[in-house]
A and B are shown apart, each in its own frame.
Chain A
Amino acid sequence: MTLLRLLTWPYVRKHRLRSVLTLAGIMLGVAVFVGMHGANQTVAQAFAATVNRIAGKAQLQVSAGETGVPEEVLEAVQSVREVGAAAPVIEAVLNTNLKGQGNLLVLGVDMTGDRSLRDYDIEGGEEDVVEDPLVFLAQPDSLILSRKFAEANGIQRGSRITLDTMQGPRQFTVRGLMKSDGLAGAFGGNVAVMDIYAAQFIFGRGRRFDRIDIGAAEGVDLETSQNKVRAVVGEGYDVLPPASRTQQFDAISRSLSITINLTSVFALMIGVFIIYNSFSIAITQRRNEIGILRALGASERDVLRMFLAESAAAGLAGSILGLGLGLLMARSLSPFMSNMVRELYGTHQMPDGVSMSPWTMAAAVALGTAVSLVGGWLPARSAARVDPVKALQKGRYQVLSEGENRIRRIAALVLAAVSIAIVVTRPTLTIFYFGYGLMVLALVLLSPSLSHWIALSLRPLLRLIRPVEGTLAADSLIQAPRRTSATVAAVMLSLALAVGFAGVSRAIYTQLLDWVDDTLNPDLFVAPTESVTQRSYRFPLSMTSEIAQVPGVEEVQAVRTVRVQLKGVPAMAVVVDVRQVAGRVKYKPVDADPVEMVQLASEGKGAILSTTLAVIRGIKKGDVLELASPEGILKVPVLGTRVDFSDQQGAFIIDRSLYSRVWKDETANAFRVYLRKGEDPEAVRRRIIERFSSNRKLFVFTNASIRELIMRNTEQWFGMTYIQLLVALIVAVMGIVNTMTVSIADRRRELGVLQAVGGLRNQIRNTVWLEAVAIGTVGLVLGWLMGAVTLYYNIEMIGGDMAGLDLDYVYPFRFALALFPVIVGAAFLAALWPAEAALRASLVESLEYE
């Protein structure tokens, strides 16, 4: 401790910038970790909070994916003796048309029945929630709003608000306000309650509910009542505690979690390198001091302990700062992520602030500190081993020992060999991921040697550009591996991540475009909302013929997309008239005869799977899908698989005849409209809108605009690439600034000589800039190389394991090339300040400097 105070603190104060950068390295790693996990947890938490608050005291819920529960089931459930209370629920998310308010979660409940389950209490307390319950029930436009929402929007009892419904924008009358706790706290407080039968009517649910909430009868345990209810409703329905919806959320957002974990691991690894870098540099600079200490009797252990204590302290401080920054990041990231999750998975939640488990926060700080210790370990050990005699002599000690390098290279080759063996044999997925880790480690170990070679080959090039400045810059790089290798490795890692992700994105994009070209070929699409993934609203099937009668329309294909429980987890069913659609869309199965597949599917004798669903659920052609249906478990043979991007979690196509027969659901989520030859899509679009303007809310998209919409949604997911790229850039800039501040100190005499023999200011700047650019370039080249490797693994992971896509390995050359100016620019930026600092140094002192 005394050592730390006497020696470290003055050093930290002297090298303020570098100390800040060291902290920033850890901070960044921890912040990315906290930010990503925080946002994810916030969204998950928001979802859970909404689920729990809506569930109230319900212990069980009867549901059937998105197909809903017929009213008869409610009566059946209510007849079960072990059931204390059973209440139906309809949930819908509506656009409020209010500035800055976004969506409103509208809950349809039976106001005359389920008060024991839900915490909304329409009469207790000081004031009545609803002034006149009879009027409330008699008028289907009645709404109870959460007080919070009402107050935020200046709404009072009796106010009218307009919400978008299936019948177009509709006025609702606020007939009650509820306290902002309990139910009203769900969905960030943007909650409204209406009568369930009015909700059925307004949201086109027919005689169905979305769910039945159940409370067990007094003295009956949960399991007994669960079994009894199961026996009554049959296997076609899920009878589960509300918390299981949260688990389902985890299951469906798994791919997001993997991406987040991957990014976090990379961010923390980058933190290791930044710490390693700073400490290596510090130790090189403090050799004298260490030598004196050792000469004065400090043991190796003392020195080791001192440096480890330094790195732990830096790690702790950086982690705590990173935690703060990460929470800020999470706050701004979570609405974005919530949006994405809603678009992708169709869940309702409204994140409010940041909620993160204290465990994760503690883990983040612990990880940051550990990372710092790991990064500081090697330099600390080499500091401890400093020979006191040699340390007190003057000279350069930058060169890595050849032995050290050889050991690294051998270790790297062994790791790479193991990793390749894993790739070849493919034992299990976990081991495959482990192999990925080994490969990354191998490349990291190899990076000093690789960067040495690259620097060597850069030398003639730099010499050509600038004979003096270039050569000196390259030499500086070659001769001080300790100074640069960690920065280079950090840049390499972060760029590899970005390249790997960009490659996968590109590959998915290509397939997505193919799919869009093949499948989304109608001239117009009619949908009830502006978002293609929102499924709160539906159309009656009868609209098919109404649209078909609009002049210019040749054919209309109704599409119902609905999540059905497949072995307890929802999967997207795409319900169409298969024969009709096959007339327009070429189904290209990867494993079946298309003619036979379409034939059988159109007869309702099977399903066509997306490859994604097949991979995620481990189903192949010839297997049987076990779908939860009103008739119990419906067994549908798998006829074939094809690439299909209808849903990120995978989808399957079944024929309308089968679906209507079993689910008795005569609605559609969208219509695919083909026009007669020579018709102007815009003109027909207007005609359709006019035709239905009086009684339906609908959006008509042209082919171009739907493509744009889908691409935009996809871009959002790919937005991750940009976040990673940003992190890569920050890492590059930080690492390079760090290295360059040391470099100019190390090169002080050289730069002095250069000036003494006639080097102009710009020539001095040039050499500093060129060194930085060279570091960036070496990192970039290594990043390109490693990116090629990570891309392979990403294709296997994201393509294979997560999305079930057989992606082609196509290196993202354009992206990689585009990185060149970006990294060079970043490196240049990073060198600006060090270059000026170099110029400010006194010439006379520089020349005497040793």
Chain B
Amino acid sequence: MNRWIIPALAAIAATAQDARQIVDEAQKRARSNSQHYEGTLQVLDGKNRMAEKRWQYDRIGAFGDSKAVLRFTAPAEVKGVALLIHNHKDRASDQWMWTPAIQRDRRIALQDRSTRFFGTDFSFEDLEERDSAHHDYKLLGEETVEGAVCWKLESQPRPGRSSQYTRSLVWIRKDLYAFVRVEAFRKDALVRRIRYGDFENVKGIWTARTLEVEDVTRKSKTVMKLDKLDYNVPLSESGFTLQALRRGS
């Protein structure tokens, strides 16, 4: 899942040439042809105790033009529910959902990307793969975040590119070219904060195995963990179709 998130928030081009270079480098280093992992997700907000969810994730294809399948394995109520995402370079992604209890697939015709992703603290927008060219950014300087030296950048959506956020602050580790923190603002208010941790080098790609998303206004936190992470695994295109979704392989 971080494969969607990181590029999305990293889609940050800067007015300053060096800022854009930093982001481009980060994106380049994270690039892979396919990905597999098993995810765990927990929402912690004091009031609601949503059950921990587990799923398996497969992705095929390059950044911005990829296809992904996400299949829930736990808890029992959602077991078998699956999502198919086709990302497009030029337009919003197509998404389908399969619900085994009624043997139906449905198109998720989402008209408002700021809505939360199934009760988590992610919004659908946070999960999109989007081109860095859609943003402008600026290098603000250097800061140390959790013991690591980082570049601090500010990104803003380019005119004509809609986003729920007016601007974001991004921290990228100098040593790994990996995102460690993002703070997204609406007007001048901080609305979402994402922290990356547990970095591990898998087949040459430094990947955060823990993500913590905080919805500041709701005072709610979602923690996501990635296990059995692997890149460039052999996957077939035929596994990323609606038919495959229905078969529920």
- Interface residues of A, Cβ cutoff 8 Å to B: 78, 84-85, 110, 112-116, 123, 127-128, 130-135, 137-140, 197-198, 200-201
Instruction: Say whether B102 contacts A134, CB under 8 Å.
Output: no
CA distance A139 to B72 in the complex (A): 14
Nearest chain B residue, comparing its CB with the CB of A85: B111
Instruction: Say whether B81 contacts A137, CB under 8 Å.
Output: yes
Nearest chain B residue, comparing its CB with the CB of A123: B116
Complex partner residue of B111 from A115, A127, A135, CB under 8 angstroms: A115
- Residues of chain A lying within 8 A (CB to CB) of residue B110: 112-113
A-B contact pairs, 24 of them (CB 8 A): A78-B109, A112-B97, A112-B108, A112-B109, A116-B111, A116-B112, A123-B115, A123-B116, A130-B119, A131-B119, A132-B50, A132-B77, A133-B118, A134-B81, A137-B99, A137-B118, A138-B77, A138-B80, A138-B81, A140-B99, A197-B106, A200-B102, A201-B102, A201-B104
- Residues of chain A lying within 8 A (CB to CB) of residue B80: 138
- Residues of chain B lying within 8 A (CB to CB) of residue A139: 77, 101
Q: Does B47 sit at the interface, judged by CB under 8 A?
A: yes
CA distance A201 to B99 in the complex (A): 12
Q: Does B236 sit at the interface, judged by CB under 8 A?
A: no
Instruction: Say whether B109 contacts A128, CB under 8 Å.
Output: no
Instruction: List 11 other contacts, CB 8 Å, given A84-B111, A113-B111.
Output: A110-B109, A113-B108, A123-B115, A123-B119, A131-B50, A134-B72, A134-B81, A137-B97, A137-B118, A138-B81, A139-B77
Most buried by A among B80, B97, B119: B119
Instruction: Say whether B115 contacts A115, CB under 8 Å.
Output: yes
Instruction: Say whether B51 contacts A132, CB under 8 Å.
Output: yes
Nearest chain B residue, comparing its CB with the CB of A128: B48
- Residues of chain B lying within 8 A (CB to CB) of residue A137: 81, 97, 99, 118
- Residues of chain B lying within 8 A (CB to CB) of residue A140: 99, 101-102
**Distance in Å from the Cβ of A23 to the closest Cβ of chain B?**
60
- Residues of chain A lying within 8 A (CB to CB) of residue B48: 128, 131-132
Q: Does B174 sit at the interface, judged by CB under 8 A?
A: no
CA distance A115 to B111 in the complex (A): 8
Instruction: Say whether B53 contacts A134, CB under 8 Å.
Output: yes
**Distance in Å from the Cβ of B148 to the closest Cβ of chain A?**
34
Instruction: Say whether A198 contacts B112, CB under 8 Å.
Output: no
CA distance A441 to B249 in the complex (A): 83
Q: Does B78 sit at the interface, judged by CB under 8 A?
A: yes
Given contacts A123-B116, A130-B119, A134-B118, contact A197 B53 (CB under 8 A): no
Those of B53-76 within 8 Å (CB) of chain A: 53, 72, 75
- Residues of chain A lying within 8 A (CB to CB) of residue B115: 115, 123
Nearest chain A residue, comparing its CB with the CB of B81: A138
- Residues of chain B lying within 8 A (CB to CB) of residue A123: 115-116, 119
CA distance A138 to B80 in the complex (A): 9
Interface of chain B: mostly helix, strand, loop or mixed: loop
**Distance in Å from the Cβ of B219 to the closest Cβ of chain A?**
12
- Residues of chain A lying within 8 A (CB to CB) of residue B109: 78, 110, 112-113
- Residues of chain A lying within 8 A (CB to CB) of residue B112: 115-116
Complex partner residue of B106 from A85, A112, A115, A131, CB under 8 angstroms: A112
CA distance A200 to B105 in the complex (A): 13
Q: Report the interface size class on chain B.
A: 20 to 34
**Distance in Å from the Cβ of B189 to the closest Cβ of chain A?**
16
Convert B75-116 into 0s and 1s, putting 1 for each residue whose CB lies closer than 8 angstroms to a CB of A.
101101100000000000000010111101010111110011
**Distance in Å from the Cβ of B46 to the closest Cβ of chain A?**
12
**Distance in Å from the Cβ of A387 to the closest Cβ of chain B?**
85
- Residues of chain B lying within 8 A (CB to CB) of residue A134: 53, 72, 78, 81, 118-119
- Residues of chain B lying within 8 A (CB to CB) of residue A84: 111
CA distance A84 to B118 in the complex (A): 23
**Distance in Å from the Cβ of A209 to the closest Cβ of chain B?**
12
Given contacts A134-B53, A134-B118, contact A197 B111 (CB under 8 A): no
CA distance A421 to B185 in the complex (A): 83
Complex partner residue of A197 from B51, B77, B104, B119, CB under 8 angstroms: B104
Complex partner residue of B47 from A113, A127, A130, CB under 8 angstroms: A127
CA distance A201 to B101 in the complex (A): 10
Nearest chain A residue, comparing its CB with the CB of B101: A140
- Residues of chain A lying within 8 A (CB to CB) of residue B100: 138
Most buried by B among A110, A135, A200: A135
CA distance A156 to B95 in the complex (A): 33
Nearest chain B residue, comparing its CB with the CB of A87: B109
Given contacts A128-B48, A132-B51, A197-B104, contact A138 B99 (CB under 8 A): yes
Instruction: Say whether B78 contacts A138, CB under 8 Å.
Output: yes
**Distance in Å from the Cβ of B128 to the closest Cβ of chain A?**
15
CA distance A198 to B104 in the complex (A): 9
- Residues of chain A lying within 8 A (CB to CB) of residue B50: 131-132
**Distance in Å from the Cβ of B50 to the closest Cβ of chain A?**
5
Nearest chain A residue, comparing its CB with the CB of B50: A132
**Distance in Å from the Cβ of A171 to the closest Cβ of chain B?**
14
Instruction: Say whether A132 contacts B119, CB under 8 Å.
Output: yes
**The 4 A-B residue pairs with the shortest CB-CB distance in the complex, in nearest-first order:** A134-B118, A113-B109, A138-B78, A112-B108
Instruction: Say whether A128 contacts B119, CB under 8 Å.
Output: yes
CA distance A298 to B97 in the complex (A): 90
Instruction: Say whether B102 contacts A198, CB under 8 Å.
Output: yes
Instruction: Say whether B47 contacts A197, CB under 8 Å.
Output: no
**Distance in Å from the Cβ of A839 to the closest Cβ of chain B?**
79
- Residues of chain A lying within 8 A (CB to CB) of residue B106: 110, 112, 197
**Distance in Å from the Cβ of B39 to the closest Cβ of chain A?**
13
Nearest chain A residue, comparing its CB with the CB of B99: A138
- Residues of chain B lying within 8 A (CB to CB) of residue A133: 118-119
- Residues of chain A lying within 8 A (CB to CB) of residue B102: 140, 197-198, 200-201
Instruction: Say whether A197 contacts B99, CB under 8 Å.
Output: yes
**Distance in Å from the Cβ of A230 to the closest Cβ of chain B?**
21
Those of B112-168 within 8 Å (CB) of chain A: 112, 115-116, 118-119
**Distance in Å from the Cβ of A645 to the closest Cβ of chain B?**
39
CA distance A283 to B104 in the complex (A): 82
**Distance in Å from the Cβ of B7 to the closest Cβ of chain A?**
24
**Distance in Å from the Cβ of A340 to the closest Cβ of chain B?**
36
- Residues of chain B lying within 8 A (CB to CB) of residue A114: 111
CA distance A728 to B99 in the complex (A): 63
